[in-house]
C-alpha cells in the first residue's frame, strides 16, 4: 500500500514540477509562434529584419508570427512596403502628403502643390508646378516670354523681334509675317523674300553657337538656347536630349528615371543600385545605395552590415547581409573598437541563420543588438562561416568578415544599459526556482503525511 502511495506522490510531484517548469500552451502550433503575445506582437504591426529592398519586414496584425511572417520589400526601412510607400527611397513612416498627390512630403518636389508627374524642367529642387522660374533663366514665369525655354534677357530685355509677347526662342513666327519659321525664307526679316548668301546669316542665326540654326527649315535646332551639336533626340519628340526633361518619353522625369535614355515606366531595379534592370549591365545588390560595397552573388563569399547612427542608451539591432541566398551560416559579432570608457557589449553575439530575402538574413532566435553607452564611434565586426560547402566554390567552412561603424551621440549611460535581458532572465529564473521548491517540498510533505497514516 505504501508503495502505491509513494508512487502516486512521486507522479504528483513530477506533474507539479512539469507544470511549473513547462507550462502547457493550448494553441494551433507550439509557442511562441502562435499569437500569444510572448513577444508583444499581437494586435500591432511590428518591424523586424529586412525585405527584398534592404529594409524591414512587416508583421501582420493578429497573425501567427511563424507562419505569416511577411518579408516585404522596404528599401528605406520605414515599415511601409515599397508598393505602398509614398516615398519608397526616403524613410518617412508617417507618410505625410499634404497636397494629396500620392507623393510623400519627404520626396515631393512640390509639397504644397499637386504634381503627380514630378516634372522638373530645369532639374532644380522645385518641380515645374511650383517653380517660379521653370526654365531657370533668371526670369520669373510671369515675366518670361518663353516660360519653358531658357532665354536670358540682354540689354534690351528678352528677344522678341515682332513684339507679340512671345520670345524669339519659342516663337513659331519670329518676324510676324504670318509664315512659320520653317517655311519662311527669312524668319528674322519679314521683308526678305529671297535672301542672298550673305544675308543667310541674318535670316538663320545660330544663337547658341552649336552650328545648327534655330530656324533652319531643313534642320531646326532642337535645343535653340542650349548648345548641342549632336542634336540627339532619344524619344523623337522634337526636343533634344540636352533640354528635354523626359529624354526617353516614358513619363518619368530624368531626375527620377533610373534609365533616363531607355523606356522603362515600371522602373524595376532588382539590385537597388540606382540603375533600372533594363539598362543595368550587371547585378550587384546595393544596401541603402552603397554601390561601392554591393553584394555580387557570383563573387567570393561577402558579408555586409550597414553603418548606423544612434543615441546612447538606444538598443541597436545588427543587421546581416550575405551575397548568398537561403544558405546556412554561423555568425559571430564583436566590438573591435569603442570610445574610451565604454563598456558596451553585443547581446546574443553568436548564432546561425539560414533564411534570407533576398540577401538580408533573418535571425531565428535572439537577434544580436548593442547599446552604445558612450558618444563616439564604434567599430563592430561580423564574421560568417558556411555551415556546409559554399554555393559557388564548394569549399567547406568558407569565412567572410565585414566591419561596420556605429556613430553614437548623447550623454554617457550606465553599464546597466548593456545588461540586456540578464536581470529579467534572473528574475524569471528565481521565480521558477521558488515555485519548484514549493512543489518539491509540498510533494515531500504529502509523502510524509501519507506515511503517517
For the chain, the domains span 1-30+426-453, 123-245, 303-418
Domain 303-418, CATH 3.40.50.2000 — does that match?
no
Rounded to the nearest 5 degrees, what angle is found at the Cα of 144, between the Cα atoms of 260 and 187? Answer: 85
Per-residue model confidence (pLDDT) at position 72: 60
- C-alpha span between 248 and 262 (Å, rounded): 6
pLDDT in tens, the chain (453 residues): 555 545 555 554 545 444 444 443 333 333 333 333 333 333 334 443 333 344 444 433 333 333 334 456 777 878 898 889 999 888 899 999 999 999 999 999 999 999 999 999 888 899 999 999 999 999 999 999 999 988 888 888 899 999 999 999 899 999 999 999 888 889 888 888 888 888 877 888 887 888 888 777 677 888 887 899 999 999 999 899 998 989 999 999 898 899 999 999 999 999 999 999 999 999 999 998 899 999 999 999 999 999 999 999 999 999 999 999 999 999 999 999 999 999 999 999 999 999 998 999 999 889 999 999 999 999 999 999 999 999 999 999 999 999 999 999 999 998 665 654 333 333 334 443 444 444 444 444 433 434 444
2-21 helix and 422-452 helix, angle to the nearest 10 degrees: 170
> Across the beta sheet with 69-70, what order do the strands follow?
46-48, 57-59, 69-70
> Which residue spans within 338-418 are E strands per DSSP?
346-347, 350-353, 360-361, 369-370, 376-386, 399-409
d(CA 368, CA 380) in angstroms, rounded, equals 12
Torsion-angle region of residue 188: left (phi > 0), alpha (psi -120 to 50) or beta?
A: alpha
- 225 with 216: CB under 8 angstroms? no
CB 259 within 8 A of CB 275: yes
The per-type count for the chain, helices as H runs and strands as E runs, is 3, 14
Are 170 and 144 a contacting pair, CB within 8 Å? Answer: no
The pLDDT of residue 225 is 79
Cell output for 141? 514665369
Taking Cα atoms as reference points, which of 224, 199, 195 lies closest to residue 212? 224
The kind and range of the H/E element at 202 are helix 200-203
* pTM (whole model) above 0.85: no
Distance of alpha carbon 303 from alpha carbon 319, whole angstroms: 11
- Other C-beta atoms within 10 Å of 418: how many? 21
Classify 247 as helix, strand or coil. Answer: coil
Give the C-alpha separation, 110 to 108, whole Å.
5
The label of the residue with cell 550587384 reads: 284
Tell the residue number behind the cell numbers 517548469, with chain if given.
21
pLDDT value of position 439: 43
Q: In what order do the strands lie in the sheet with 320-322?
A: 303-304, 320-322, 360-361
Amino acid at each position: 500500500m505504501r508503495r502505491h502511495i509513494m508512487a502516486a506522490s512521486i507522479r504528483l510531484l513530477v506533474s507539479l514540477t512539469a507544470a511549473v517548469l513547462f507550462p502547457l500552451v493550448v494553441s494551433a502550433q507550439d509557442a511562441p509562434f502562435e499569437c500569444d503575445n510572448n513577444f508583444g506582437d499581437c494586435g500591432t504591426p511590428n518591424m523586424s529584419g529586412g525585405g527584398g529592398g534592404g529594409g524591414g519586414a512587416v508583421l501582420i496584425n493578429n497573425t501567427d508570427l511563424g507562419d505569416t511572417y511577411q518579408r516585404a520589400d522596404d528599401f528605406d526601412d520605414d515599415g511601409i512596403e515599397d508598393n505602398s510607400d509614398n516615398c519608397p527611397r526616403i524613410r518617412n513612416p508617417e507618410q505625410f502628403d499634404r497636397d494629396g498627390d500620392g507623393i510623400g512630403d519627404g520626396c515631393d518636389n512640390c509639397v504644397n502643390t499637386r504634381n503627380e508627374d514630378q516634372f522638373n524642367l530645369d532639374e532644380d529642387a522645385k518641380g515645374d508646378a511650383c517653380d517660379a522660374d521653370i526654365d531657370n533663366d533668371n526670369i520669373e514665369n510671369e515675366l518670361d516670354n518663353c516660360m519653358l525655354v531658357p532665354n536670358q534677357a540682354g540689354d534690351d530685355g528678352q528677344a522678341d523681334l515682332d513684339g507679340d509677347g512671345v520670345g524669339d526662342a519659342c516663337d513659331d513666327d519670329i518676324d510676324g509675317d504670318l509664315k512659320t519659321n520653317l517655311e519662311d525664307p527669312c524668319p528674322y526679316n519679314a521683308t526678305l523674300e529671297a535672301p542672298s548668301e550673305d544675308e543667310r546669316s541674318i535670316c538663320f542665326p545660330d544663337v547658341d553657337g552649336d552650328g545648327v540654326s534655330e530656324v533652319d527649315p531643313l534642320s531646326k535646332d532642337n535645343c535653340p538656347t542650349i548648345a548641342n551639336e549632336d542634336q540627339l533626340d532619344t524619344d523623337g519628340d522634337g526636343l533634344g536630349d540636352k533640354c528635354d526633361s523626359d529624354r526617353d518619353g516614358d513619363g518619368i522625369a530624368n531626375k527620377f528615371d533610373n534609365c533616363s535614355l531607355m523606356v522603362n515606366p515600371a522602373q524595376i531595379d532588382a539590385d537597388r543600385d540606382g540603375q533600372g534592370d533594363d539598362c543595368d549591365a550587371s547585378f550587384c545588390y546595393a544596401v541603402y545605395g552603397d554601390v561601392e560595397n554591393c553584394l555580387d552573388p557570383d563573387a567570393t563569399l561577402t558579408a555586409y552590415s550597414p553603418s548606423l547612427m544612434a543615441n546612447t542608451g538606444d538598443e541597436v539591432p545588427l543587421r546581416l547581409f550575405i551575397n548568398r541566398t537561403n544558405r546556412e551560416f554561423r555568425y559571430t559579432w564583436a566590438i573591435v573598437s569603442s570610445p574610451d570608457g565604454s563598456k558596451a557589449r553585443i547581446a546574443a553575439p553568436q548564432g546561425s541563420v539560414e533564411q534570407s530575402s533576398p540577401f538580408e538574413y533573418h535571425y531565428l532566435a535572439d537577434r544580436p543588438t548593442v547599446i552604445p553607452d558612450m558618444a563616439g564611434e564604434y567599430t563592430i565586426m561580423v564574421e560568417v562561416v558556411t555551415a556546409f560547402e559554399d554555393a559557388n566554390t564548394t569549399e567547406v567552412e568558407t569565412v567572410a568578415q565585414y566591419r561596420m561603424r556605429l556613430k553614437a551621440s548623447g550623454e554617457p549611460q550606465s553599464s546597466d544599459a548593456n545588461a540586456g535581458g540578464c536581470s529579467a532572465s534572473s528574475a524569471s529564473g528565481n521565480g521558477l526556482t521558488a515555485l519548484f521548491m514549493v512543489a518539491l517540498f509540498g510533494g515531500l510533505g504529502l509523502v510524509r503525511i501519507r506515511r503517517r497514516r
